[in-house]
Structure 1
Amino acid sequence: MQSYLVGDTPLVPVGRHCILELYDCPTYLLDNPVFIKQALEEAAKVAKSTLLSEVTHHFEPYGVTGLALLAESHISIHTWPEYGYIAVDIFTCGEYAEPEKACKYLVLAFQASSHTLLTLPRGKLSPEIQKRLEDSLVIQ
């Protein structure tokens, strides 16, 4: 079932896309693929999403990328232990998922000293909302 009808498209988003950046996180958490896998699983649960699969890859000499495939879309985590930095991307569609709750969980789980969160509506928006969104972002 589609989120909206083709040809008679209401001006509504079909999902939310959270872009989360975590700063000053403990290095030992950022270089631990087991911990990151567990964090992905819990983030999916907190977001009220259905986890289909997850994968992690540990880079040499350090750093981890983890991806959770969700029925509602995905969660990705990319770590730079040498900087204490994590880039997180959470995209969910449907009306029941709560990606912002997953973001709050990840801030706490990775013990971030600070973070930034940008949440974008995805899908067909009214021209007025689309213009305001574009004006609020720095597009290069």
Structure 2
Amino acid sequence: MGILIQALPCFQGRLSEARAGAKLIAQIGGPVSALPSALEAPTDLETISLHLVIDGYEAAPSSLKDVDLVHDFLDWFPDRIGMTRIAPPQVYTYRSRKEEDWGVSGFVLIAESHITVHTFPDRSYLNVDIFSCREFDAAESLDIVKGWFGLERTESRVLERGLQYLDTTEAYTGMVRERFGLQPSKGSS
């Protein structure tokens, strides 16, 4: 993979954005040769981001109390689904005013967005959110979460976010400039 794909995962595989990106990189003085040939593959992906929302029920309270289990999941999982972890997971035990609402909460920042886990051991319940601007296998991710936390039952949905993204070209230009430290050329904004 070329440097552009690694630096701009939100646009991986999106043909129209890739072509617009090549033009923009050229306009702002970037290395057009950095564009990999993989960007030429057509795709029907039209969303900017996918958000898998999981509600898990009937889990063993012992697994939901386990800070290390949540941490290890957040540390391992991004790589498993092809995401890029950019910071170590942060995991905390939370004590609520309502005694039964305590739990373990954790998140990991990924280049593509974030993954969060919130557990409620006294309710045998947890929430997991996987939000990414890179496509991933939601069914496989759900199966992994079910197995990791020993869930008997789940409810999940996949939200397609960014369907009416204001200006893909503008976003792309900003990300290219930010990631490559490029300055606008004369006559461009």
- TM-score (norm: length of structure 1): 0.76
Q: In the superposition, relative to structure 1, how do residues 100 and 73 fare at CA in structure 2: closer, same or farther (>3 Å)?
A: farther
Q: Is contact 1:48–1:98 with CA below 8 Å preserved after alignment?
A: no
Write the deviation string for residues 74-123 of structure 1: whole angstroms up to 9, x where unpaired. 1000000001000111101124x445433221111111000011011111
Counterpart of 2:58 (choices 5, 21, 24) is 24
- Higher-helix-fraction structure: 2
Q: Which has the larger radius of gyration?
A: 2
2:68 aligns with 34
Letter paired with 1:75: I
Counterpart of 1:108 (choices 127, 147, 168) is 147
- Higher-strand-fraction structure: 1
Structure with the larger RCO, 1 or 2 (CA within 8 Å, 6+ apart): 1
Counterpart of 2:129 (choices 58, 81, 89) is 89
Alignment size in residue pairs: 121
Q: Is contact 2:85–2:110 with CA below 8 Å preserved after alignment?
A: yes
Structure 1: runs of 5 or more not aligned: 126-140
CA distance in 2, matches of 1:66, 1:52: 15
Letter paired with 1:16: L
Letter paired with 1:118: R
1:136 aligns with none
Counterpart of 1:120 (choices 144, 159, 172) is 159
Structure 2: runs of 5 or more not aligned: 1-7, 12-16, 22-43, 165-189
SS at 1:12 equivalent: coil
Q: Is contact 1:25–1:112 with CA below 8 Å preserved after alignment?
A: yes
SS at 1:50 equivalent: coil
1:128 aligns with none
Q: Is contact 2:138–2:158 with CA below 8 Å preserved after alignment?
A: no
Alignment RMSD:
2.3
- TM-score (norm: length of structure 2): 0.58
Per-residue deviation, 1:11: 8.7
Letter paired with 2:70: I
Q: In the superposition, relative to structure 1, how do residues 15 and 100 fare at CA in structure 2: closer, same or farther (>3 Å)?
A: farther
